[in-house]
C-alpha cells in the first residue's frame, strides 16, 4: 500500500469508517512512520478545533419558530390548491349546466369561429355572447382574442359536455354580482395568483364593499394566505384590512400573530397588533404559546411602539 | 397509539394534516440542525427547513415506499441545501452555481477575502475563533460542506451520506478528503 493511501485510511479512521483489518494495517504502519503520526495529531487538532467552535444543538425557540412558519406556509399551500380546484370547478360549471346541449353547441360554434379567425386572420365582425341565467356573460369573445394552445380534453359533444383548455392574451369578461360565489371564486383566484400586484390589489378591493358581504371559507383562507405571504406590502395591507371585516376566528388570529412576528413592515405589524388587541377586548383569548410570541416581540422587534403594545398585551393577560 | 412512518404517510396521503405534522415533528429537529450548520444565518436555516417540508408535503402524495421515508427526506434536505441561495447577499461570498460543477476549484478569489489582512498571529490572538472556523467551513464548496457537515457534525456513515446525496461512496470520500485538505489550509495558522 502506498503512503498516500495510508493517509486516506488515517482520515477515515478519525471518522470511524475503517474495517478492523484496515485499522490493524494502519496501526502497524504508524509504528514505523513518523510522518503519519504527525499527520494524525494534526488532523485530530483540526477536528477538535472545528467541533469546539460550531454550534451543534438546535435551539428549541428556533425550532418552534420554524414550525410556526411552516404551519403558515402549509396552510397557504393547501388554500392555494383548494382555490385552484374550486375555480376550475366554477369555470367548468359554465359548460355543464342543465342547458348542456345548447351551451355545448354554442361553445363548439364559438371555438370554430375563434379558431377560424386565428388561422384565416379574419374578423368575424360580431360580438359573441354565452349566457347563463342572465347573470354571466362572456361578452368579449370577439375578434383578435389571441387564443393560443387550444387543446381538447373531450371534443365529443354528443353527451352535452366538452372540455378544453386555451390561453388567451385578451381576457374573458365576466359580469355578475360580487356576492355571487362564481364571481368571488375568480376574484379569490386572482388575488392569490395574479402576477401583477395591481390586479391582486383590485381583486381584494372589489370584494371590500359597503354592501353586506358574504365571505365564504375560501375567501377567508385566501385573505389569510395573502396577508401572510404576498410579496407586495400594499397587497398585504389591503388584505389585512378586508380580513379584519370577517368574523374573527382561529385562522385569522394565527395570521395576525404571523404578521406581528414576521412581517417586515412595521405599519402592518402595528395594524395586526391592534386587531389582536381589539379581539382581546371582545373576549378572544391567547394561549401561553401565543403570549410567548409577544415576549419574543418585546425582545426582538425594533419598533418601540410595537414593543410597548406587546407589553400592554402581556400585562392585560397576566 | 404509536404509528410508524408508513401509517403516518398513508394517513397524510388521505389528507390527514395532523398525521403530516406528526411526521414532520419526528424528523424536523435533524433537518433544522443540518440547515443551521449549512446556512449562513438563522433566517436562511428556517427558509431551508420550510422549503424541505413544503417539498415533502407536495411529494408525499406520490411517495411509493421504494425507499425509507427518512432517506427520501434527507435526500430532499441535501438537495435543497445544495441549491439554496442565501437571501442576505452581503454574506454571499461566492455564487453557489459558479462552483457547483467544479469541486476542484474550492477557493475563489472572493473566498480568499475571508482571511485577507489577518496574519497567522492576528488570527491566533483573535477574539472570535468560532467565526474564523465557521468562515472556513462556509468557504468550502457546497458539496464538500454538506459532506463534512453530515459526517463530522451529524455523524452519518459514508454509506448513508452517499444515499442522501445520491452518489457513490467513493465520491463522498473524495468530497470529505478535499474538505479536510481545504480546512487545513485555511485553519492551520490557528491550530498548528
Last residue of a domain, one of B83, B117, B143: B83
Q: Give the separation between CA A118 and CA B114, rounded to whole angstroms.
A: 60
Q: What is the pLDDT of residue A2?
A: 76
pLDDT in tens, A87-126: 666 655 555 555 555 555 555 556 655 555 554 444 443 3
Strand partners, A168: A147
Residue B99 to chain A, least CA–CA distance (Å): 23
**pTM, rounded to two decimals:** 0.57
On whether both B78 and B146 belong to a single domain, the answer is no
Q: Give the separation between CA B77 and CA B82, rounded to whole angstroms.
A: 9
**How many distinct structural domains can be found in chain B?**
2
CB B99 within 8 A of CB B53: no
Spatial CA neighbour of A238 closest among A197, A196, A210: A197
Q: Give the separation between CA B170 and CA B175, rounded to whole angstroms.
A: 9
Q: Give the separation between CA A160 and CA B103, rounded to whole angstroms.
A: 61
Three-class HEC string of B99-146? HHCCCCCCCCHHHHHHHCCCCHHHHHHCCCHHHHHHHHHHCCCHHHHH
Q: Give the separation between CA A276 and CA A290, rounded to whole angstroms.
A: 11
Tell me the pLDDT of chain B (192 aa) as tens digits.
Answer: 678 999 999 999 998 888 999 999 999 999 999 999 898 688 889 999 999 999 999 899 888 888 889 999 999 999 999 888 655 443 333 333 333 333 333 333 333 333 444 445 545 554 477 788 888 888 999 999 999 999 998 889 999 999 999 899 999 999 999 999 999 998 888 776
Residue from A9, A53, A262, A296 to probe the interface with B (highest B Cβ count within 10 Å): A53
Q: For B46, which of A45, A66, A77 is closest by C-beta distance?
A: A66
Q: Give the separation between CA B21 and CA A70, rounded to whole angstroms.
A: 10
Query: How are the residues of chain A apportioned to helix, strand and coil, as percentages rounded to the nearest 5?
Result: 65, 5, 30
- Name residues of chain A where pLDDT drops below 50: 119-148, 150, 155, 157-158, 162
Which string of b and e fits B109-139 if b means at least 16 CB within 10 Å?
Answer: eebeebbeeeeeeebeeeeebeebbbbbbbb
Q: Give the separation between CA B127 and CA B114, rounded to whole angstroms.
A: 16
On whether both B111 and B76 belong to a single domain, the answer is no
Residue A162's SS3 state is: coil
On whether both B32 and B110 belong to a single domain, the answer is no
On whether both B72 and B108 belong to a single domain, the answer is no
Query: Which residues on chain B place their C-beta less than 8 Å from a C-beta of chain A?
Result: 17, 20-21, 24-25, 28-29, 32-33, 36-37, 42, 45-46, 49-50, 53-54, 57-58, 129-130, 133-134, 137, 151-153, 157-158, 173, 176-177, 180, 183-184, 187, 190-192
A136 φ, ψ (degrees, to nearest 5) = -110, 140
Between A and B, how many residue pairs show a Cβ–Cβ distance under 8 A? 93
Q: Give the separation between CA A313 and CA A309, rounded to whole angstroms.
A: 6
Would you say residue B58 lies in a domain?
yes
The second-level CATH assignment, the architecture, of A181-317 is Alpha Horseshoe (1.25)
On whether both B180 and B124 belong to a single domain, the answer is yes
CA B181 to chain CA centroid, Å, is 19
Helices A20-32 and A3-14: crossing angle in degrees, nearest 10, is 120
On whether both B79 and B100 belong to a single domain, the answer is no
On whether both B99 and B78 belong to a single domain, the answer is no
Q: For A50, which of B20, B137, B177 is closest by C-beta distance?
A: B137
Does the ipTM exceed 0.90?
Answer: no
Q: What is the pLDDT of residue B142?
A: 92
Q: Give the separation between CA B130 and CA B121, rounded to whole angstroms.
A: 16
Strand partners, A151: A165
Does the distance separating the beta carbons of A63 and B28 come in below 8 Å?
Answer: yes
Residue B166's SS3 state is: coil
Does the distance separating the beta carbons of A70 and B152 come in below 8 Å?
Answer: no
Would you say residue B89 lies in a domain?
no
pLDDT in tens, A164-195: 555 555 555 666 677 777 777 778 878 887 77
CB B160 within 8 A of CB B88: no
Residue A278 to chain B, least CA–CA distance (Å): 30
Task: Tell me the CATH number at B21.
Answer: 1.10.1740.10
Would you say residue B18 lies in a domain?
yes
Does the distance separating the beta carbons of B58 and A66 come in below 8 Å?
Answer: no
Last residue of a domain, one of B48, B83, B118: B83
Q: For B191, which of A45, A69, A77 is closest by C-beta distance?
A: A45
B62: containing domain:
5-83
Would you say residue B166 lies in a domain?
yes
CB A153 within 8 A of CB A165: yes
The domain limits of chain A are 3-41, 95-175, 181-317
Does the distance separating the beta carbons of A56 and B152 come in below 8 Å?
Answer: no
On whether both B110 and B184 belong to a single domain, the answer is yes
Amino acid at each position: 500500500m502506498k503512503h498516500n493511501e495510508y493517509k486516506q485510511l488515517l482520515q477515515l479512521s478519525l471518522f470511524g469508517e475503517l474495517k478492523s483489518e484496515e485499522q490493524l494495517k494502519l496501526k502497524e504502519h504508524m509504528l514505523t512512520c513518523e510522518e503519519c503520526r504527525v499527520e494524525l495529531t494534526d488532523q485530530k487538532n483540526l477536528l477538535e478545533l472545528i467541533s469546539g467552535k460550531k454550534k451543534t444543538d438546535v435551539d428549541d425557540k428556533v425550532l418552534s419558530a420554524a414550525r410556526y412558519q411552516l404551519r403558515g406556509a402549509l396552510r397557504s399551500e393547501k388554500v392555494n390548491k383548494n382555490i385552484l380546484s374550486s375555480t376550475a370547478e366554477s369555470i367548468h360549471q359554465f359548460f355543464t349546466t342543465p342547458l348542456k346541449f345548447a351551451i355545448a353547441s354554442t361553445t363548439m360554434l364559438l371555438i370554430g369561429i375563434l379558431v377560424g379567425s386565428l388561422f384565416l386572420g379574419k374578423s368575424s365582425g360580431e360580438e359573441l355572447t354565452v349566457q347563463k341565467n342572465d347573470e354571466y356573460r362572456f361578452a368579449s369573445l370577439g375578434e383578435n382574442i389571441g387564443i393560443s394552445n387550444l387543446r381538447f380534453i373531450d371534443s365529443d359533444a354528443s353527451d352535452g359536455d366538452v372540455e378544453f383548455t386555451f390561453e388567451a392574451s385578451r381576457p374573458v369578461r365576466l359580469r355578475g354580482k360580487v356576492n355571487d360565489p362564481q364571481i368571488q371564486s375568480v376574484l379569490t383566484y386572482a388575488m392569490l395568483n395574479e402576477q401583477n400586484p395591481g390586479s391582486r390589489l383590485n381583486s381584494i378591493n372589489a370584494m371590500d364593499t359597503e354592501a353586506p358581504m358574504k365571505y365564504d371559507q375560501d375567501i377567508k383562507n385566501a385573505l389569510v394566505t395573502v396577508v401572510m405571504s404576498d410579496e407586495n406590502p400594499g397587497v398585504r395591507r389591503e388584505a389585512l384590512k378586508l380580513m379584519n371585516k370577517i368574523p374573527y376566528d382561529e385562522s385569522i388570529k394565527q395570521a395576525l400573530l404571523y404578521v406581528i412576528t414576521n412581517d417586515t413592515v412595521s405599519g402592518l405589524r402595528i395594524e395586526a397588533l391592534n386587531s389582536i388587541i381589539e379581539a382581546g377586548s371582545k373576549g378572544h383569548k391567547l394561549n401561553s404559546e401565543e403570549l410567548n410570541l409577544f415576549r419574543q416581540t418585546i425582545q426582538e422587534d425594533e419598533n418601540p411602539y410595537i414593543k410597548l403594545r406587546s407589553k400592554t398585551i402581556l400585562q392585560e393577560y397576566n | 397509539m404509536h404509528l410508524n412512518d408508513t401509517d403516518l404517510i398513508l394517513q397524510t396521503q388521505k389528507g390527514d394534516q395532523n398525521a403530516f405534522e406528526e411526521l414532520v415533528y419526528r424528523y424536523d429537529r435533524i433537518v433544522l440542525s443540518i440547515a443551521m450548520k449549512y446556512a449562513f444565518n438563522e433566517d436562511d436555516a428556517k427558509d431551508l427547513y420550510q422549503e424541505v417540508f413544503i417539498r415533502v408535503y407536495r411529494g408525499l402524495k406520490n411517495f411509493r415506499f421504494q425507499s425509507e421515508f427518512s432517506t427520501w427526506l434527507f435526500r430532499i434536505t441535501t438537495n435543497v441545501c445544495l441549491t439554496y441561495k442565501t437571501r442576505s447577499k452581503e454574506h454571499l461570498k461566492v455564487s453557489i452555481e459558479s462552483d457547483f460543477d467544479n469541486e476542484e476549484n474550492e477557493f475563489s478569489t472572493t473566498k480568499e477575502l475571508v482571511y485577507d489582512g489577518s496574519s497567522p498571529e492576528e488570527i491566533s490572538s483573535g477574539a472570535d475563533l468560532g467565526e474564523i472556523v465557521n468562515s472556513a467551513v462556509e468557504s468550502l464548496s457546497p458539496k464538500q460542506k454538506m459532506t463534512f457537515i453530515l459526517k463530522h457534525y451529524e455523524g452519518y456513515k459514508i454509506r448513508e451520506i452517499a444515499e442522501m446525496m445520491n452518489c457513490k461512496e467513493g465520491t463522498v470520500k473524495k468530497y470529505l478528503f478535499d474538505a479536510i485538505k481545504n480546512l487545513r489550509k485555511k485553519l492551520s495558522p490557528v491550530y498548528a
